[in-house]
Amino acid sequence: MISTAARVLIPSATAFALGIAFAPFLSSILYRNRAWKKKAGKESGIGGGGTPIFNELHKEREVSTPRMGGILISVSVIATALFFFVLAHTLDTFWPSLDFVNRRETWLPLFALVCGGLAGFVDDLLEITRGKGGLSLLRRLSIVGVIGLVAGWWFYAKLGVAAISVPFATPLFLGVCIIPFFALVTLALYAGGTIDGLDGLAGGVFAIVFMVYAGIAFGEGQVSLAAFAASVAGAVLAFLWFNIPPARFYMSETGSMALTLALAMTAFASDTISHGIGIFVLPIVAFPLTATVGTTLLQVFWKKVFRKKLFRVAPIHHHFEAIGWPSYKVTMRYWVITIIAGVFGLALALLATLP
């Protein structure tokens, strides 16, 4: 009989191994097809206007390093899930205990990972082939919003979730409003996905965040959800192995959209449905994503109200880069901050589940 901890760790190690094995094949395809931007930088920022500082900082690597590296993450996780699902349904002994695909805990996270990956792939494909940017921001937000609404409806209508947990207090009942709330959280997380942009930054942050949520789910007794989150972390670590400077490929929308959508589903699945506080600790555990959204909104607000910038460039990790920090220093400090925030969020989540 396999221990409960092994049911989480084995899928994680499997996803990492599959990612490492798949990466050279993916890399050769991306380089052979010159799957990178035809023009460096961004056409405009969220608040409108140009982004000259960002474009200057990233004028070289973006036109020589392939996008779509996020394919590695989604393929590794889906392959891991299918591998153990098939073995569980064809062999006896211990294999059924490693199957983490089930309706209550992991259907939606897997669905979100696939849908986000496909939508991001289309965006990246258009970026590469047209050379004028991919899907518009409005279209990307619409896709994310619709997926969030569908997922919110599933939680409300199929799983009976109508409240979010508050630590050491009565759950906050939202009723049918849980559906638009779900969509708003999903959109906010997607906005945090703009943390991608420095070699190793997004990969390290997402790997830590998903591993923390694996710990949260494990503490709540949701072994399948914990295995899913740990598998995502393992796949992201495989991606990170090839994304450490100088990056072999970038995560881009193919990865960031898949990961942010999957993270939203994981956070909600580790909330009231399991008597946990997955949503409450989300801004803490994913603090770098929170800071990314917050500083971007602050920058837009400051420009509109005070007619000047608060930061040299937003999100704030690019501000640090613009004032002279080497990119590796920004990246590694973000990793440290994510670990500290993750430990704090995990401790709070585990304390809140104590009887």
Instruction: Give the pairing of strands 163-164 and 172-173.
Output: antiparallel
| Confidence band of 55 (pLDDT split at 50, 70, 90) | low
pLDDT at 7 over 90: yes
The pLDDT value given to residue 60: 58
231-270: burial string, b at 16+ Cβ within 10 Å, e else: bbbbbbbbbbbbbeeebbbbbbbbbbbbbbbbbbbbbbbb
The pLDDT value given to residue 232: 98
- Span 265-285, average pLDDT: 94
- Span 303-321, average pLDDT: 88
- Span 186-203, average pLDDT: 90
- Span 30-51, average pLDDT: 68
The pLDDT value given to residue 82: 96
| Confidence band of 95 (pLDDT split at 50, 70, 90) | confident
Distance (Å, rounded) from C-alpha 74 to C-alpha 352? 32
Residue 163 parent element (H or E): strand 163-164
Distance (Å, rounded) from C-alpha 214 to C-alpha 64? 35
How do residues 209-264 score in pLDDT, each as one tens digit? 999 999 999 999 999 999 999 999 999 999 999 998 888 999 999 999 999 999 99
Residue spans of the domains in the chain: they are 4-352
Q: Are 42 and 55 in contact (CB under 8 A)?
A: yes
Distance (Å, rounded) from C-alpha 197 to C-alpha 202? 8
pLDDT at 308 over 70: yes
